[in-house]
Amino acid sequence: MKERMDENIIEIVDLDKHNRKQAHAIGKAAIYQHWSMFSFLIANRLDGFIIRVAMCDGEVAGYAAMVDLSSGWRIGSIAVAETHRNKGIGTQLIEDLADIARSRGAAFLLLEVRESSSAARHLYSKMGFVEEKIVPRYYKTSAEIKRRTGKAREDAIVMRMALRGKN
């Protein structure tokens, strides 16, 4: 898939040995509880896991990973490099995962998002995800957030996007 956005060529490809270190570094910088490099390596080799990478002008701009749940897929991790945010890359990655899931007969996409991640929640809602439930104290908080809020854990919002009909 190639699209023109902000005069950059965005291509979404499978994670491979040439782009996994950059993808891992983006996740590490963007997500407090990020995947380890070992998780990237193992997940990329397992059936039922898909990791896609957004390439922009020859460099990794972001990645998204999902796992097969049988009737649907769960997005387990998504991150966009700070220098590439607000360019539609997160949207393109989610659309790419949705296309793959649809092509495999999935009825829905599912994800969890931090309650405090208002920008991510807004993006997911705009794309058709609906809030399904709250999972109390799902995420650990960083030391900075803990100092600011006094909370060691943060709730997760489970969101679902129908890929066909109602589910």
Q: In this structure, what is the dihedral angle of CA atoms 28, 39, 161, 30, given to the nearest 10 degrees?
A: 0
User: 108-114 and 72-80: which strand pairing?
Assistant: parallel
Alpha helices of the chain — where are they, by DSSP H?
Answer: 20-30, 37-45, 89-103, 118-126, 143-149
pLDDT number for residue 56: 93
Locus of tokens 């979404």: 12
pLDDT number for residue 119: 86
How buried is 149 (Cβ within 10 angstroms: 0-12 exposed, 13-18 middle, 19+ buried)?
exposed
CA distance 125 to 122: 5
Q: What is this structure's pTM?
A: 0.82
CA distance 66 to 109: 9
What fold does the segment set 2-162 form as a domain? Aminopeptidase (3.40.630)
pLDDT number for residue 66: 95
pLDDT number for residue 6: 45
Q: Would you kindly state where each structural domain of the chain is located, as residue ranges? A: 2-162
pLDDT number for residue 72: 94
CA angle 84, 124, 138 (to 5 degrees): 100
Strand partners for 113: 157
- Per run of 10 residues, the mean pLDDT along the chain (length 167 residues) is 51 92 85 63 77 93 93 92 92 96 95 87 94 82 70 85 77
The answer for residues whose C-beta is within 8 angstroms of residue 38's C-beta and 6 or more apart is none
pLDDT number for residue 9: 67
pLDDT number for residue 1: 41
CA angle 13, 161, 4 (to 5 degrees): 35
